[in-house]
Chain A
Amino acid sequence: DQQVKQNSPSLSVQEGRISILNCDYTNSMFDYFLWYKKYPAEGPTFLISISSIKDKNEDGRFTVFLNKSAKHLSLHIVPSQPGDSAVYFCAFADTGNQFYFGTGTSLTVIP
């Protein structure tokens, strides 16, 4: 069973506009939530995270929102830049230090 779902495999956004990436999860035991970014031919790299006690965390152009009641995580990128074009994975950590990843959303920012 997929405990983490990213329902949009791809997303295209104009440069300067907002990119919104979404993720849903089923396991209420998750208590740490992350986004990773992956460029072609490279490994995923950490982008931003949020703990379950918060509902928002901001880092520059990147903001992560957590809605625990809906079991929904989102990433907002404002303004989007061509260099943001990559595959974005949401990830969740449980108390056993195990990380579960989504299927990824390929973001294309059009200049």
Chain B
Amino acid sequence: DAGVIQSPRHEVTEMGQEVTLRCKPISGHDYLFWYRQTMMRGLELLIYFNNNVPIDDSGMPEDRFSAKMPNASFSTLKIQPSEPRDSAVYFCASSRKGEYSGNTIYFGEGSWLTVV
């Protein structure tokens, strides 16, 4: 079975440019999470969706960040305009509704973003 698929794996962009990160969750999973990994805050939850609906976006750092989930198999995280402090690894993860077990949250391999 395919896991959570993220693209691009690596992105280097100039400050001020728009960045779009993509995610395909595991089929049948109806929760989707976007995390950002930083040294200071570890794995920081940015936003999560349930059945394609954003449930909690309180972790989104500012208006430059936006996320969408147009259907059950695709989500995007967009940064516009990007800034050097946005440089981090962004992880997408998915899980199955009603299953509380931790082993049902699966992560993608991450998108490494560098803003210069």
**A residues engaging B (CB < 8 A)?**
2, 4, 6, 31-34, 36, 41-46, 49, 89, 91, 93, 96-104
Counting CB contacts under 8 A, is B42 at the interface? yes
Q: Assuming A44-B91, A93-B100, is B105 touching A103 (CB within 8 A)?
A: no
Tell me whether A98 and B43 are in contact (CB under 8 A).
Answer: no
Best-surrounded residue of A4, A44, A89, A98 (most CB of chain B within 10 A): A44
Interface of B: prevailing SS: strand
Residues of chain B with a CB closer than 8 A to A102's CB: 42-43
Which 6 A-B pairs rank lowest in CB-CB distance, beginning with the nearest?
A103-B42, A43-B107, A34-B102, A101-B43, A49-B102, A46-B103
**B residues engaging A (CB < 8 A)?**
4, 31, 33, 35, 39-45, 48, 50, 55-56, 91, 93, 95, 97, 100-103, 105-110
Closest chain-B Cβ to A74's Cβ sits at a distance in Å of 16
Tell me whether B48 and A103 are in contact (CB under 8 A).
Answer: no
- Of all chain B residues, the one with the shortest Cβ separation from A2 is B41
